[in-house]
Amino acid sequence: MGTQAEENHSSPAKDVRTEQEKKIDDWLPITSSRNAKWWYSAFHNVTAMVGAGVLSLPYAMSELGWGPGIAVLVISWVITLYTLWQMVEMHEMVPGKRFDRYHELGQHAFGEKLGLWIVVPQQLIVEVGVNIVYMVTGGKSLKKFHDVICDGKCKDIKLTYFIMIFASVHFVLSQLPNLNSISGVSLAAAVMSLSYSTIAWGASVDKGQVANVDYSIRATTTPGKVFGFFGALGDVAFAYAGHNVVLEIQATIPSTPEKPSKKPMWKGVVVAYIVVAICYFPVALIGYWAFGNGVDDNILITLSKPKWLIALANMMVVIHVIGSYQIYAMPVFDMIETVLVKKLHFPPGLTLRLIARTLYVALTMFIAITFPFFGGLLGFFGGFAFAPTTYFLPCIMWLAIYKPKRFSLSWFTNWVCIILGLCLMILSPIGGLRQIIMDSKTYKFYS
């Protein structure tokens, strides 16, 4: 296998690209830099995975209850680690070739056209969806920081303006050329995610159980309980959404037949998943233990004291979602720039990048300002697109490419993941959509 890869690496068939195509590939954000170390993979994955979704986990627990809540969290952790391993393995399954983008792997599994139609719409919904939700989260956390610091002594400022302030950072950062160039931002974001998760559960422990804590399901009516359960599944799916950028992260790691990129990548993924467990489980379980079904859809809102600590945690969330936004935006920039340069034949350069990326940031800012329903958005996007790309699309690709023997362990494991993922995809948007409808009844545009 190694020699075959080596021969393929040295054969002329490896580089049938023209000089122009090589220049374009060296310019595009995903393929322009391949000198990342394994720890880049660790903090990029932490930044991509541990998003603002962790802060909604105690709320998800309040709609699931102790037993189902713990089961959903643990099963999701195991399934998504397994599907992430599959993607890391499939990155270089064809000797001498790398699937640097999710849709390239899809094309290999399902065919040139069908692969694009299956993967690209879902990946775009996830990445653009995350970017919109993070615009809202960044704005809300800035507003919360302002309100906590001011303590009622300052003039009230609309959420709209805080989202605009948050977006202004991205108009600058989005001009960084590739994933490696944002590694410093990503590292800071990963550290922040661990820090604010620790503050969230640490402050909950310090506060202790609230008086008359109630662990019954949040909703009182049967429809409310059912829809709440569905929405909570979407919240959990959103919290495990890092797969959409995993191949793009692996593309930044150097690879040779002797030292394939999957080894350092997997090392980074394992470290990232340990950090994910350290963040998710204490926040979800301790947050629910302390507040029961009285917890808000963002636990930092429930925790109002000590003020300086909550203000600090909210600023950490802001720094973290700045990094996360960039990690999820980079593959979108890559898609936009690929279409502009390869299909529409625009000359690659600074002007193209400046206009395309600025318009994208402006679009996500505008949608975030228009629809800032934090809880409902998580549930809706969580099920609709996160479930396929994270929970079962890698399994379908694995079955299509490797064709494991029927009823073997691999075959059985993949089908279990597919069935659970399909249930998640069908059920959770229903709860999220209902939440959006309920929020919209009391919502005033651009308030």
DSSP 3-state helix, strand, coil percentages of the chain (rounded to 5)? 80, 0, 20
The gap between the terminal CA atoms of the chain, to the nearest Å, is 61
Within 10 angstroms of residue 437's Cβ, the number of other Cβ atoms is: 11
pTM: 0.86
- 236-294, pLDDT tens digit by residue? 877 787 788 888 889 888 888 888 888 999 999 999 999 999 989 999 999 999 888 88
- 116-125, pLDDT tens digit by residue? 998 888 888 8
- State residue 77's pLDDT score: 92
User: Contact 51/135 with Cβ under 8 angstroms?
Assistant: no
> By percentage, how much of the chain surpasses pLDDT 70?
90
Of 60-74, 190-204, 205-219, the poorest mean pLDDT is in 205-219
Please state, in angstroms and rounded to a whole number, the distance separating the CA atoms of residues 91 and 261: 8
Closest listed residue to residue 129, CA positions, set 390, 343, 356, 340: 390
- 294-328, pLDDT tens digit by residue? 887 778 777 766 788 888 888 998 999 999 999 99
Please state, in angstroms and rounded to a whole number, the distance separating the CA atoms of residues 36 and 265: 10
- State residue 12's pLDDT score: 37
Of 142-146, 209-213, 279-283, the poorest mean pLDDT is in 209-213
Complete domains list, the chain, with CATH = 37-439 (1.20.1740.10)
Closest listed residue to residue 140, CA positions, set 159, 158, 156, 161: 159
Write the DSSP symbol of residue 443: -
Please state, in angstroms and rounded to a whole number, the distance separating the CA atoms of residues 261 and 92: 8
Closest listed residue to residue 63, CA positions, set 241, 237, 230, 277: 230
